[in-house]
Amino acid sequence: MGNSAEKSKISTSLDFRAVGKQVGHLVVPHSTNTSAWGAIEIPVAVISRGEGPTAFFTGANHGDEYEGPIALSKLIRSLEPEQVHGTVIIMPALNLPAFRATRRLSPIDGMNMNRAFPGKGDGSVTSMIAHFVSTRILPLADVVVDIHAGGKTLDFLPCAVIHELDDDNQMSKTLAAQEAFGAPFGLVLRELDAAGMLDTTVEEMGKVFLSTELGGGGTATPETVAIAEIGVRNILAHFGILDEKPLSREDRGMAPMRLVHSPHEQCFTSARDNGLFEPFRGLGDEVEKGDPLGQIHFIETPERDPLIHHAGRSGVILCKGVPGLVGKGDCLVVVGEDYKDK
């Protein structure tokens, strides 16, 4: 665990409590062969009119997920202090080195930003960023929204994601924020390995945390960008930071959010061998337990029969693997079942 009293090596000219609009950087010292006294400058914006709640938005926690950086840089340019009650803090590319490298993980230290929390003040670059966020920004926030997508290797039905929380009051506030975001799907996760996540760090502070999985494949679509843009404004409206009503799915003539979860191991189908995956079903298809989902071909031994993979549970195809060539253990398909609130 990081120590919150540890001094950060990161500096910034921004004052996170000042009224007005500030766009600047977190300056992370990074000495390399090509830049002896160099630094990595992580973009950050603070838009505030003082009194009121604080929302914190992050994108590119994983470097190959693009709806966050697009929607949040637009928000930085469009949002002015006189429009808000309270404060909005925005980091459109939390793991900037990974974003620059078009990779999920940082090329500098190999770390997954979403396993680096709460971070260390004198740690590696990823760990230092996590530590600064944990100690300097999260304590100010009432709600945190971390915009993810499937990255290069997964593709999702667009969903707002929350965790099952033990505290009923925190859970109901989080469910309400998820609904307000306005995505077509809501996913409720019980994380198997929650250590080191931004999610967990925020949730343990008793705050509202929302994540998303908006498409994937290492790109963005007009639909997924629109969901992100409307979603962040809806969160600001839901928390009273913007003086407007959230734009509900109903208002837009859309079906209500469908709440799903994947509580069983059998919801996850992984490749049982290396080969070329031929999908039989696509995102959003309804499947029954036992339905064939696809098959792995062995192109270098074409006399060998393909290996068919079947659905372990009934439900909607919520997520699928992107690469055609798969390795044993790679995620092929995740099925979501309708979630009944306890």
Which spans of this chain sit near Zn ion (rule: CB under 5 A)? Answer: 62, 65, 148
CA distance linking residue 114 with residue 129, whole number of Å: 11
Nearer to Zn ion, 148 or 320 (CB): 148
CA distance linking residue 228 with residue 140, whole number of Å: 23
Shortest distance in whole angstroms from residue 154 CB to Zn ion = 9
CA distance linking residue 90 with residue 267, whole number of Å: 34
CA distance linking residue 201 with residue 181, whole number of Å: 21
Nearer to Zn ion, 62 or 313 (CB): 62
* Encoded tokens for 156: 């999702």
Can the peptide bond before residue 118 be classed as cis, meaning omega within 30 degrees of 0?
yes
CA distance linking residue 89 with residue 138, whole number of Å: 10
Residue 255's closest CA among 185, 316, 161?
185
Residue 155's closest CA among 340, 319, 18, 42?
319
Nearer to Zn ion, 135 or 211 (CB): 211
Give the three-class secondary structure for 48.
Answer: strand
Residues paired with 297 in a beta bridge: 276
Shortest distance in whole angstroms from residue 275 CB to Zn ion = 26
Shortest distance in whole angstroms from residue 216 CB to Zn ion = 9
Nearer to Zn ion, 62 or 131 (CB): 62
Shortest distance in whole angstroms from residue 163 CB to Zn ion = 15
Shortest distance in whole angstroms from residue 149 CB to Zn ion = 7
Shortest distance in whole angstroms from residue 151 CB to Zn ion = 6
The CA R_g of the chain, rounded to the nearest whole Å, is 21
Shortest distance in whole angstroms from residue 339 CB to Zn ion = 21
CA distance linking residue 71 with residue 60, whole number of Å: 11
* Encoded tokens for 169: 């009051």
- Residue 151 CB contacts under 8 Å (≥ 6 apart), including other chains: 62, 64, 65, 104, 216, 218
* Encoded tokens for 147: 């915009």
Angle between helices 168-181 and 222-238 (to 10 degrees): 130
Shortest distance in whole angstroms from residue 62 CB to Zn ion = 4
Nearer to Zn ion, 215 or 275 (CB): 215
Shortest distance in whole angstroms from residue 129 CB to Zn ion = 15
Nearer to Zn ion, 150 or 336 (CB): 150
CA distance linking residue 175 with residue 257, whole number of Å: 11
Torsion sign over Cα 254, 255, 256, 261: negative
Nearer to Zn ion, 103 or 233 (CB): 103
Q: How far is CA 106 from the centre of its chain?
A: 16
Query: In the sheet where 292-297 sits, what is the strand order?
Result: 307-310, 292-297, 275-279, 325-326
